[in-house]
């Protein structure tokens, strides 16, 4: 069967984590990758308390669902307090950053289109 | 600002639920819709215990993350027991059904491309 016909059912906890070099205390799992899915990829990010990502832009949009924990998230000129059960849409090209808060990991689903993602860090000190 | 530049941060619990007519005890929320997002839409499905969806096909693929509860899910000729934290990819055109089990609602994220979705119910008795 080619990739268009292959179903997947698995536990996210079985999928390897990769450290996200641009962040601190941040790892990422590719839950459903562009090798399988024709249009977009589903990832899970895990940020340890105090960890996060500096202010940066992506050339692709983000559709996110917060699974666990809480964080401050900067998007453009606004800062939000987000928590489990929140939904976040970050348009392509808009600067954004994350800072995990509280005592448990901050975890979220992040879906991106299968397009090249050019990432540009704007300010390493802003998270 | 046009839709390409509008960030969204909200609680999923504030978004209206719509009953899914083809299912039983099943409702759906559009968390990030095609009116906002350029490439794909994020929805949350909620199935009450004993509820579900009959065997059907969609003309679009599904990328899913199970948020809560458990269910039996049929995909093609296979039946899976899925639970919170599981990841499911259902290719376009593959018959599938859901039956929520246990004592709490079965809830999952389901991401689909911004394409017309032709839904065909195959067997109303199979879930």
Is the minimum CB–CB distance between A31 and chain B shorter than 8 Å?
yes
Percent over 90 (pLDDT), chain B: 91
Instruction: Tell me how far apart the alpha carbons of residues B62 and B99 are, in angstroms, rounded to a whole number.
Output: 17
CATH number for the domain whose boundaries are B16-114: 2.60.120.10
Q: Where are the domains of chain B?
A: 16-114
Interface test mutation site (partner A, options B36, B39, B68, B85, max chain A beta carbons within 10 A): B39
Q: What is the pLDDT of residue B123?
A: 76
* CB within 8 Å of A109: residues ≥ 6 apart: A31, A42, A43, A44, A64, A65, A67, B65, B109
Q: Check residue A111 and give left, alpha or beta (phi > 0: left; psi -120 to 50: alpha).
A: beta
Nearest-neighbour CA in chain A from B22: distance (Å): 22
Query: pLDDT digit string (tens) for B9-47?
Result: 999 999 999 999 999 999 999 999 999 999 999 999 999
Q: Given this structure, which CATH class describes domain A14-123?
A: mainly beta
Closest CA to B111 of B17, B14, B43: B43
- What residues of A are in contact with residue B32 (Cβ under 8 Å)? 63, 87, 89
Distance separating the N- and C-terminal Cα atoms of chain B: 44
Cα separation values, A38 from A15, A80, B96, Å: 20, 32, 19
* CA A46 to chain CA mean position, Å: 8
Instruction: Tell me how far apart the alpha carbons of residues A60 and A53 are, in angstroms, rounded to a whole number.
Output: 16
The band of B8, judged by pLDDT with boundaries at 50, 70 and 90, is: very high
Q: What is the pLDDT of residue B124?
A: 63
* Chain A residues 61-90 within an 8 A CB cutoff of chain B: 61, 63, 65, 67, 73, 75-76, 78, 80, 82, 85-90
Q: What is the pLDDT of residue A21?
A: 93
User: In chain A, count of helices (H) and strands (E)?
Assistant: 0, 11
Query: pLDDT digit string (tens) for B91-113?
Result: 999 999 999 999 999 999 999 99
One digit per residue, the tens of pLDDT, for chain A of length 127 reads: 445 578 999 999 999 999 999 999 999 999 999 999 999 999 999 999 999 999 999 999 999 999 999 999 999 999 999 999 999 999 999 999 999 999 999 999 999 999 999 999 997 655 4
Nearest-neighbour CA in chain A from B42: distance (Å): 7
* Predicted TM-score of the model (pTM): 0.94
Q: What is the pLDDT of residue A1?
A: 44
DSSP per-residue letters across chain B:
--GGG--EEEEGGGSPPEE-TTSEEEEEEEEE-TTT-SSEEEEEEEEEEEEEEEEEEESS-EEEEEEESEEEEEETTEEEEEETTEEEEE-TT--EEEEEESSS-EEEEEEEESS---EEEEETT--
Q: What is the pLDDT of residue B1?
A: 43
Does the distance separating the beta carbons of A32 and B39 come in below 8 Å?
no
């Amino acid at each position: 069967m080619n990739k268009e016909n292959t179903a997947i059912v698995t536990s996210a906890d079985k999928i390897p984590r990769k450290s996200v070099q641009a962040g601190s205390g941040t790892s990422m799992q590719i839950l459903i990758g562009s090798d399988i899915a024709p249009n977009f990829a589903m990832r899970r990010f895990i940020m340890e308390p105090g960890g996060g990502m500096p202010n940066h832009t992506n050339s692709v949009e983000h559709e996110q669902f917060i699974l666990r924990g809480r964080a401050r998230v900067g998007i453009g000129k606004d800062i939000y307090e987000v928590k489990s059960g929140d939904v976040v849409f970050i348009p392509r090209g808009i600067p954004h950053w994350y800072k995990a808060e509280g005592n448990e990991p901050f975890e979220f689903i992040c879906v991106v289109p299968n397009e090249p993602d050019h990432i540009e860090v704007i300010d390493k000190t802003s998270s």
